[in-house]
Amino acid sequence: MTGEMSPVDKAKYVAARRAADMVQDGMRVGLGTGSTAVWMVRRLGERVKDEGLQIKGVPTSSRTAQLAREVGIEVVSLDQAGWLDMAIDGADEFDGELNLIKGGGGAHLQEKIVATASDRMVVIADAGKEVETLGAFPLPVEVVPFGWQTTRTLIEEALDTMDVLGTSTALRMNGEAPFVTDEGNHILDLHLQRIGNARQLALVLNQVPGVVENGLFIDICDKVVIGYGDGRVEVRDINEGTIETDQPAESGENLFLDIVD
């Protein structure tokens, strides 16, 4: 697989590796959900095995919890951890102010709780996730199953008053049945195309009866680690106002040698 990775997968891998290497011994770490987060969890597992790294991981989904246990990370609940030193997670979109759309994997409720219970939220993403304005990726909204069609109607009415280009909504499906989150809820994906005022939209959506949480992460992310297909990594810190760039490994050092199927 070392030579078979696409540029996007390489970008995800180097971003995940860079963020995982920020974790220090003794930390309590929120473990995100999604394709990029998988690389991060695996890298942390390598560090636990090879370096004796001792951390407590708080997963944001049952999928992540299973993987973390498989790679040797001690898994605890958020209530057991109390407060986290860092949360590392992916994003479906991020803008220049590090506002995010998350929830493509259906775990944004737990992800938002974990992120806001952390001293720092670090987002890992390939460069293609950066956008000038949020909204091209469908915005996930978790809703309770009871009366979900009424909730959908109320959301659509609210969207008519918002600064968005599109107002269509769709119930997320898993084959022939509605997708069900870890909390037993459904997800409505809002196809908005462009979100003019993400902060306002997030507040309005969470006022709709039946809405549990939306996938807009506003003023939550502290740092984004961006991977590129050539192995470059850029780290942007919104609080410090800094940008660091790591160049690809020299030809004699292949970061991808430890990747296995």
Q: What residues act catalytically?
A: 111
Q: Which residues are annotated as a binding site?
A: 33-36, 89-92, 102-105, 129
The secondary element (H helix, E strand) that includes residue 20 is helix 7-20
Residues 60 and 123: their CA atoms lie apart, in Å, by 14
Q: Give the residue numbers of the binding site for substrate.
A: 33-36, 89-92, 102-105, 129
State which H helix or E strand residue 47 sits in: helix 35-51
Give the E-state strand segments of the chain in sequence order: 28-31, 56-59, 74-75, 86-89, 93-94, 100-101, 121-126, 139-143, 168-171, 173-174, 177-178, 186-191, 211-214, 216-217, 223-227, 233-237, 242-246
